[in-house]
Amino acid sequence: MFERNAQAPQTDNSVAPQPPERVMRVSPLDMRQQRFRSGMRGYDRTEVVAFLTEAADDYEHALRDNDRLRSEVNRLESLLQEHRERETNLRNTLLTAQRLADEVKDQAQAEAKLIVREAQGRADLLLQKAQVRLEEVDRDINELKLRRRDTEGSLEGAIQALYRALEFIRDQEQGRSDDKVLLHRPRVENATPARAADVRPAEPRVASEQHG
pTM of the model: 0.38
Q: How far apart are CA 90 and CA 118, in angstroms?
A: 41
Average pLDDT, the chain: 76
Domains of the chain, residue spans: 28-109
**How high is the pLDDT of residue 41?**
67
pLDDT by residue (tens digit) across 14-39? 445 555 555 556 677 777 776 766 66
Residue 168, pLDDT above cutoff 50: yes
49 vs 81, higher pLDDT: 81
Q: Could you give the count of Cα atoms lying within 13 Å of 10 in the half-sphere of its Cβ?
A: 4
DSSP of the chain: ---B---PPP-TT-SSPPPPPPPB---HHHHHH--PPP-TT---HHHHHHHHHHHHHHHHHHHHHHHHHHHHHHHHHHHHHHHHHHHHHHHHHHHHHHHHHHHHHHHHHHHHHHHHHHHHHHHHHHHHHHHHHHHHHHHHHHHHHHHHHHHHHHHHHHHHHHHHHHHHHHHHHHHHHHHHHHHHHHHHHHHHHHHHHHHHHHHHHHHHHHH-
pLDDT by residue (tens digit) across 52-99? 888 888 888 888 899 999 999 999 999 999 999 999 999 999 999 999
**Residue 32: Cβ-neighbour burial (10 angstroms; 0-12, 13-18, 19+):** middle
